[in-house]
Each structure stands twice: as C-alpha cells, then as structure tokens.
Structure 1
Amino acid sequence: MFELRPIFSALLRSKASPLLILLQLVLTLAIIANAMHMIDERLALMQRDSGLPESELFTFNLRELNPDAPLEQQRRLDEAALRALPGVIDASSISQVPLSQSGSQTGMARQPNAPEEIQGVSYFQGPIQLASTLGLTLLEGRWFNEAEVTATKSNREPSQVILSADAAKQLFGEESALGKQVYIGNDAAEVIGIYQRMQSQSVRSRNLYHTAIYPIESLTMLNRFMVRVEPGQLDSVMAQVEDTLLALEPYRVVSGFRSMAEVRQDAYRNDNAMARLLTLLSVLLLGVTLVGVVGQVNYTLVQRRKQIGIRRALGCSRGAIVRHFLLENLMIALAGVTLGAMAALALNQALMGVFEIGRLPLTPLASTMAGLLLLCQGATLVPALRAAQISPALATRSA
C-alpha cells in the first residue's frame, strides 16, 4: 500500500492520458458486454431444437404445368415413386415446411365463438405418412388413418387434429387433451393424438412449438414435399428425385431443393450475420483498447525516464518499477470497468426498448469486467518490464 501515494501523485500530475484510457475502458466494457449478451442470445436462438431429424430431411417444390392433370392420382404416384427410391425412409407432401419462414397459422379455443386461447398455431397438412416423414414422436393417442385424410382443392377446417405437447398444454394445462374438442373459429375438431415437439415455420414466433397436424391434403398446382432418408444418403437421393418425377410426368417443374440444414441456415441467416458482426466489432474494439493501454504506458515511460532513473539510482528494484506501472494501470482499469459496468446496464436498458433482447445478466457482465482487467494488466506488463530495464545513468544523462 505504501506505493499508492506516488502513483496517485503521478496520475494527478498527468490527468489527460489516464482519463482517455478510462473513457475508452468505459465505452469498451459497455459495448462489449452488451454485444456478447446479444451474441449469446442469437446463438441460443440458432441452437433451438426443431424436433426433427434434420440431417435426414430435405424438401423441394413441384409445380404442375398441365391444368387438366389428375392431381390426386398424380400425387399418389409421386409419393410412391419417392418412397421406392433406395435410401428413402419415407416421403410426403406437406403444406408448409418447418423453419421456412413461410406458411400459415391459426388460433384455437376450447369453446366456440370464444376468444382464442392460443394464437399462432402453425398447422401442417399432409397424408398419413407426414408424421413418419418428419420423424415425430407420438406421446398420446394415435396418428391418422387413411380413411380420415381428405384430399381437397378447397380450404376447409379439419374434424380431427393432432397437437404438439406445447400446444396441448397451453390449451388444457396439466389435463390430457386427448379426446377433447378444440375450436378453430366455429369449427370443432377432436384431438386424437399428441406428439412431442415440432418447431413452427416461423423462427420469430413467440409460440415456437405450438404446432398441429391436419388430416388434409391440398390438391394444388404447386406442391411441397418432404423426404426423409437413411443417414448419409441425403445427397444421393436428392440427385435422383427430379429424373424420377419427370419420368412419371414430364410437363412439370421440379425445383427448390434444400436440405433441412440449409432451411435452418436460411432461417437464421440474419442472426448468424449479426453474431459475426458483433464478434468482429468486439474484437476490433478490444484491440483498439489494448493498443491504447500499451500506448499510454509507453507514453508514461518516455515522460518519466528521469524519474525512473532516479528511483533506480536510489535503490528501487526492477520489481518495484514493474509493480508501480501495474498498480497504476490497475487503478485506472478498476475505475474504468466500474463505470463501464454502470454504462453497460444503462445501455442494456436502452437496447431492450429497441431490440428484442433480454436483461443483461450480472454473471457475464462480471466475467467481462474480469477479462478486461486481466487484458489491461497483460498489455501493461511488457512496457513495464521495459521500464524496469532503464539504466539510472542513461536516464539521468538523457534528461
């Protein structure tokens, strides 16, 4: 503690340089702490479980060009041909693709004409093979049978539904939803099954896992398909699909091939770009701060060569010189990170009103403070060691 007095005296004699470093540390901590928090939130979003065997799935579009094509018959032929391909586990048409950022949602209630008790339910329509293709796990009840699936060219509401566990819990709490009625507007539908989990088509939905399966096949000119393959067979199966379907009916267009990994990548493209940008910004800002610390210590070293030489001539050890510079930097850094923590919390409050981010946790903030302190000490060490090598005679002569 006896070294603090000369350190305070030195700082008071030259205020500008320490103040600049202090302000730089305040800004650095405020920005980096919030940037790392936003990066963590983006990574958590991108790593959310879809409930699907993504490595085994791919999707594509098929557009019929013949207006007189027998759509239902052609659909059956197409699905059978896809399932017959080597390496295919199952295949199905689907009304919308999970995570695709495009599709339809509805609201549900337990009573007719009642306010919707659950909103943003993404519903997926397809044949009985849809659940198998998506690799869903049944928790209660059963899947649809062939007689319950309706193929239609018009929009209609189902008389039966299968709900995700999250949607069922939202509607019925801890009670079992099996066998109960849900209402889509005025139309009643019986819950015949509950599956574990499937993510909706919208990764921005607040009701991410509120999904449902309808026993309806929409017969339209534009069809979407999902294909599930055996592990390691995705590329080879995908390469065979177009020729297989065109051999059945050449007057059509097969396009839009994407693996579920690509669908996920597209869905979270903006989040990934934001995480990369914030990481780059944090690294650059940290680099500028460390360069500033090194520059400040080097500047101090030049200004105090005579003082260092005199202290060395009076018997001050090299270790004491190093300790002096480290303590001086630590005092500035402690003040900087303390004020920076306050600035980080204030900035977080402002960002919460603009972006969809949560409150800045104190533990990561404390870790960022500790990391910045250690980096500042590390940046000071090399110039401090160089200062300790100054010869008393050289310092006095150069003064």
Structure 2
Amino acid sequence: MSLHLMLKSLKRRKVVTGLLLLQLAMTLALLLNAVMLASQTHASLNEPTGLDMENILQVQLKPTTPELRKYPALSDLLERQLAGVRAVPGVIAVAYSNQGPLLQGGNNGNVFKVGAQERTNLASIPMYFVSADFFQVLGLTVQNGELPVSPTPLDGKVQSPVVLTQQLAEHLFAEENPVGQAVNRGPVAAVVSNFYGQRSAEHVFNNSVQVAPLYGVDWGYSLLLRVEAGSADAVRQQLDQVLRNVDTNIEIFYVRSLAEQHHRLYRTEFGLAVLLTILAGLMLLVTMISSYSNAHFHALKSQQDIGIKRALGASRQAIFVELLAEGWLCTLLGTGAGVFVALLLNKLLATVIVIPAIPLWLPLLSISVLMLCVTLATWYPARIATRVSPATATKTL
C-alpha cells in the first residue's frame, strides 16, 4: 500500500487515529524527560563530594531561650556540648558550624581577592564559621599553608584567617600562592581539599571557612561528628539524651548522616523522576493497548477489502506487512509531534529543577522503542487478518 493510501485509511478513522497520535506524543514526551531526569539524578547522587558520607553525622539544633542564642552564653553552651559529644563512645571528632555541607542555599556572600575585585569577585560563596576540629571532622586535607588552631574573634579589629577550598583558591589566585594574601573576608591561612558546600549550578566546591566563635544563632547551628566506621547508628541513638543532659533548653531538629542529607538534597528530582517514569510506563502500556485495539478493529472491518486483495493475488505476507506499516506510520506521526512536546516539557521542568537538555540520540532511541512496542501490539491483529479466506470475503460482494 502506498503512503497516500495509508494516510487515507488513517483519515477515515480520524477520531481513533487522533487519540492514538496524542497518546504516542505524550508517551514520548514523558519517556524522554523521565530518562533525562533519572540520569541527571543518578549522576548527582553519585558525584564526588569530598566527604566521608557514611561516617559523618550532622545534628541541627537551636537554643530555645534568647540568652543562649547569643554570645557569650552561646559560646559556653557550645563548649559544653562539644565536650559532652566527645565523650560518646565511637565519636572521633566533633565541631560546631553555623551550617552544614550539602545544602540548598544557606549563609553565603561574595568573595574576591583584595585589589582585583572586578576580575575575581564571586557571589554566593558559602561562609562557614566553625570550631578548629571542623577540618578533621570532614576529613579535609591541607593543600597549602597551616590551619588555624583556635577561634579568632570577629570583632572588627582583627580579621579572622580564611581557609579556602582548592577550587575557590584557584579561581581567586590562579597560579599564585594564596597563603598570606588577602581576600575581602580576611588573610588566607590555608587551602584545603574540595568539599560539597551549597548546591549551585557550577560552583559547589567553592567554600570559605573561618575558625571563629558563633555570635548569634537565631536560625540554629550544626554539630558535625566524625564517628568510627559502623558506629553511626549507635552514636545517633545517644545524641539526643547527651545533648539534653548538657542543657535542656535546646530544640533538636534532626540528626542525619551526610549520605541522608545528600539524598534529601535531590529528593525533588528523585520524586519527579519516579513519577514521570511511572506515568511514562502507564502511557506506554495504554498506547500498546490502544494500538492493539485499533489494529484489531481495523482488521475486522477490513475483511472484505483484505479478501479482495487475497483474491487478486496478494500474499499473506503482503497483507501482514501492510497492516504493520499503518501502525508504523501512525507511530512516526505521533512521535514526531511528541519530540516537540518533549522539548516544551523539558523547558518547563528546567524552570523549577535542574534537568539537562535532551540530546539528539535519545529521541531516536525512544522512537525505536515505541516502534517496537507498537509492532508487538499490532502483530497479533495483523496475523488474524492474514487468515481471511478469499472465498469467504468475496461472498459478501
């Protein structure tokens, strides 16, 4: 059958054909974006973070009384909490921090090399104010310089030394030695290995750390613990009671491993990937059922035409291929429209989440998968059509 005749045949069933084309377009759009979102989420969850995810715990908490949320009562509370947590069996090191790693947003600001602001200025760089054991807890290695060993008061008179991650130091100072030079936050004391700070499009490893007291924690703060391998659960179970024994005037929001925090960071993408995958699977199933029903109904209604063709010498194989070809043509038309729907859906998703653009090869692969599914769905009706006897069909003439 020629292309013109196949299009004419589909036009005669325009309502059913239109619905099938819509199903094919929506199925392809959901399938493409589900694959892209799933691959993006998988890559994000397996990207290097520079952190020992399973053996570092984060406790997010806040004092419940205004006095304890401000220096100097806050400083005393932190020292007592650190001492109490250090005594827990399985704890290797503990540090306080104004925020933990692996966050979506948080405390940040711009950083630039003094004297070269226009060339080096970077916005939204995470600012960590921590105790000296912070680097041991996260397992950061010193690349250059020496780490501060005690907090420097941020009183406006003496600037606290700054520790930069390697990626940030390279951006600010290129090939120069950053140690001893100054950024707008203070003099650079050391450069440490990269770690995942706040989630952003490009600069997740750019972090600025200062060993300094916490002067106010109206939004809470973090205690970060490095624990012995295999002891995370046992330590976690004791933390609530240990911290409340130190002082009951605290609210503990959560205790998580960094692995759990990492998964929560991408839970939106993970949830959408699961949802789109389920919807794409259901749409694919519905499309196969619709293709089967459409082909089966068409084969039954066309028995007379098929009988005439058989009487005129058409082989069973030719009838079989002809019916499959109609399904292939319908699939190509539907998926052709589906590519544009997929691109539109991809742009809409990109406005709320991070999702990569659809590469050229993926629509071609997805169209091939749909072609295979439609072929399987229409194979049995096409086989039934080949059984029409010329003598039986011509009796209706």
Can you give the 5+ residue segments of structure 2 that lack an aligned partner in the other structure? none
Q: Are 2:95 and 2:223, in contact at CA under 8 Å, matched by a contact in 1?
A: yes
The equivalent position to 2:212 in structure 1, one of 209, 216, 228, is 216
SS at match of 1:49: coil
Secondary structure of 1:139's aligned partner: strand
1:108 is matched with 111
Q: Tell me: CA distance 1:212–1:275, structure 2 relative to 1, closer, same or farther (3 Å).
A: same
- For residues 271-310 of structure 1, give each alpha carbon's deviation from its aligned partner in whole angstroms, at most 9, with x where no partner exists: 2222222223322332332222222211210111123334
- Offset at 1:345? 4.4
- Flag the 1:165–1:306 CA change in 2: closer, same or farther, 3 A: same
After TM superposition, give the deviation of residue 236 of structure 1 in Å.
0.7
Distance 1:111-1:248 versus aligned 2 partners, 3 A rule: closer
Q: TM-score, normalised by structure 2?
A: 0.83
Look up the equivalent residue of 2:63 and give its one-letter code: R
Q: Decide which of 79, 102, 120 is 1:99's aligned counterpart.
A: 102
| Distance in 1 of aligned mates of 2:328 and 2:264 | 45
On the 8 A contact 1:136/1:196 being kept in 2, the answer is: yes
* Structure 1 residue 396 displacement after superposition: 4.5
Give 1:130's aligned residue: 134
TM-score (norm: length of structure 1): 0.83
Residues 15-30 of structure 1 mapped to structure 2, 5 A cutoff: 15-17=11-13, 19-20=17-18, 21-30=20-29
Tell me the distance in 2 between the aligned counterparts of 1:118 and 1:13.
Answer: 62
Q: CA deviation at 1:99?
A: 2.4
Instruction: Please tell me whether the aligned partners of residues 309 and 396 of structure 1 are also in contact (alpha carbons under 8 angstroms).
Output: yes
Alignment of 1:1-399 (within 5 A): 4-5=1-2, 8-17=4-13, 19-20=17-18, 21-60=20-59, 61=61, 63=63, 65=65, 67=67, 71-101=74-104, 103-111=106-114, 114-115=117-118, 117-146=121-150, 149-150=151-152, 158-184=159-185, 189-201=186-198, 203-204=199-200, 206-220=202-216, 223-250=221-248, 252-312=250-310, 316-342=314-340, 344-345=342-343, 348=346, 357-396=355-394
The one-letter code sitting in structure 1 at the alignment partner of 2:208 is: A
Task: Identify if the C-alpha distance between structure 1 residues 178 and 260 changes in structure 2 by more than 3 Å, giving closer, same or farther.
Answer: same
Tell me how far apart the structure 1 counterparts of residues 380 and 203 of structure 2 sit (CA, whole Å): 54
Q: 2 CA distance for matches of 1:171 and 1:86?
A: 41
TM superposition shift of 1:174: 4.0
The letter of the residue matching 2:322 is H
Given that 1:158 and 1:215 are in contact with CA atoms closer than 8 Å, whether structure 2 keeps it comes out as no
CA pair 393-86 structure 1, distance change in 2 beyond 3 A: farther
Deviations 1:214-234 (A, max 9, x none): 111215575421112122211
* Counterparts of 2:26 and 2:253, CA distance in 1: 50
**Structure 1 alignment gaps of length 5 or more:** none
Q: Could you tell me how far apart the structure 1 residues matched to 2:305 and 2:235 are?
A: 77
Deviation at 1:54, TM superposition (A): 1.5
Structure 1 distance, partners of 2:181, 2:141, is: 20
Distance 2:252 2:338 in 1: 56
Deviation at 1:267, TM superposition (A): 2.6
CA RMSD of aligned residues (A): 3.3
Corresponding pairs, count? 387
